[in-house]
Structure 1
Amino acid sequence: MPLPEPRPLLHPLRTPGSARSAIRRLPHHRMRVTIDHQPLAGITPPMLLWWFRHIGDEVHYAGERMSGYLAWHPLDHIAWELARPAPGGGADEGARYRIVEAFGRDERFRVDSVERVERLDETGIRLVRRVAGTKVFQLEHTWSWGPDGAHYVSVMDLGARLPVFAPVNHHLTTRVFPLAMAEAWVRHNVEEVGVLEHLLPDILRQRPDEAERLGV
């Protein structure tokens, strides 16, 4: 799947310095990347829950119709697919998301993966990938109410906790997702989370029924 031409940037991109982030090496060659984002002014947890349930919906952006996912990061996002619907239908808890993106539009940092949504509610979303039933990847975004807007924290865990998986973890954190890629992901995630402060209200205004329900 080729990297598409970038869509127009209608909203400012935050810089990594706007967030508190850390990349930690853990036992058995695991890695944890943590990002504590600057608050999202005007954004609430119910709005974020709605967003992830409707991430693939078509929206009006920069004079075109496209998926909300492509509008979310106009430079890095390539494709989002509902690989498997949730048991109750749609992109809800229990669904499988296919995500294709290239951090910084750099093909060295391309991701094309399918993860299961193991949690999606008003407190956050958890995406998990397992090998032979063992969790080898987890990306968890948690959010909460705050006086300056939604407080949003992202934590990515790479590698399994079982010592027997140490060789697999080493391959994962040195070849599949090395340190340079983790650093590129930090910038990418800070940018896309920050865009929600502007994009999400714009999209909800295109859905007056949902905007009214969510108090936008």
Structure 2
Amino acid sequence: MTAPQLPEPLPVLWPLRPLGSAAVWTAAKDGRTVVTIRHAPLAQVTPEMLAWWYHHVPGTMRYAGETWPRYLVWHPLDHISYQASSPVVHPGTSLHITEAPGRDTSKLIDVQVTVETIDTQAAIISKRLFGTSIIRLENEFTAYNGGTRYVTRLTIGDNTPLGGLVLNRMAHRRAFPPAKLAAWIRHHIEEIGNLENFLPDLFRYRSDHEP
């Protein structure tokens, strides 16, 4: 299988948030690793906007004088592709996501996941095998001072018997070994922080067929 090609970087119109802008802590329990990221508040981004965004990541938008896939604008350096099984993303939609944190293809993330939840409180995706959750990414948001408090929780592994026997080791060694996990944390802080730079205008001027 041919490895996904990293596209040329888009212009970076706004500074990306630094790692230190968020509080990050990691816990290990029952063979699982749980990474929690409390992002700095997103100014002028409401939970309603975030719910709309996660429904409508597929599509294009104007950026730096050209039209680009929204997923590439979300992180103009690291993102590669975002393929959804439906034009509007909803619970049950399958997503194929590829990205290279830090533009380092040795840390390539190429994963197929299923959407569990999208609403004004959370966006949740997961990768499951034989009823066991290998990866689960929970994004939770609450209104705060005209913007949003945003907390991410990434769970690697599961506490099922099959997880303990085989799948947890595979998740930790192949999906998120330590170096890739560290790179993803920085990447995720950057992409979530970037939403406040373009999402309010994108939501305000969204087309009539994207309610």
**TM-score by shorter chain over 0.5:** yes
> Greater shift after overlay, 115-124 or 196-205?
196-205
**Which residue of the partner structure matches residue 66 of structure 2?**
64
Q: How does 1:14-29 map to 2 (within 5 A)?
A: 14-28=17-31
C-alpha contact 1:118 1:128 (8 A) present in aligned 2: yes
1:104-153 per-residue CA deviation (whole Å, 9 max, x = no partner) reads 11112111111111111110111011101222210010001012620000
Name the aligned partner's letter for residue 8 of structure 1.
Answer: P
- RMSD in angstroms over aligned alpha carbons? 1.9
**Which residue of the partner structure matches residue 170 of structure 1?**
169
Q: How does 1:11-160 map to 2 (within 5 A)?
A: 11-28=14-31, 30-82=32-84, 84-85=85-86, 90-147=88-145, 149-160=147-158
C-alpha contact 1:204 1:210 (8 A) present in aligned 2: no
Which consecutive residues of structure 2, in runs of 5 or more, have no partner in the other structure? Answer: none
Distance 1:209 1:152 in 2: 28
Distance 1:124 1:22 in 2: 20
C-alpha contact 2:112 2:127 (8 A) present in aligned 1: yes
Name the aligned partner's letter for residue 112 of structure 2.
Answer: V
C-alpha contact 2:58 2:88 (8 A) present in aligned 1: no
TM-score, normalised with respect to structure 1:
0.89
Which consecutive residues of structure 1, in runs of 5 or more, have no partner in the other structure? Answer: none
Distance 2:48 2:200 in 1: 12
Q: How does 1:175-186 map to 2 (within 5 A)?
A: 175-186=174-185
> Greater shift after overlay, 89-98 or 190-199?
89-98
C-alpha contact 1:33 1:182 (8 A) present in aligned 2: no
**Which residue of the partner structure matches residue 10 of structure 2?**
7
TM-score, normalised with respect to structure 2:
0.91
Identity of aligned residues (%): 39
**Over 4 Å off, 4+ runs:** 208-211
User: Deviation at 1:45?
Assistant: 0.4
- Count of aligned residue pairs for this structure pair: 207
Distance 1:113 1:189 in 2: 15
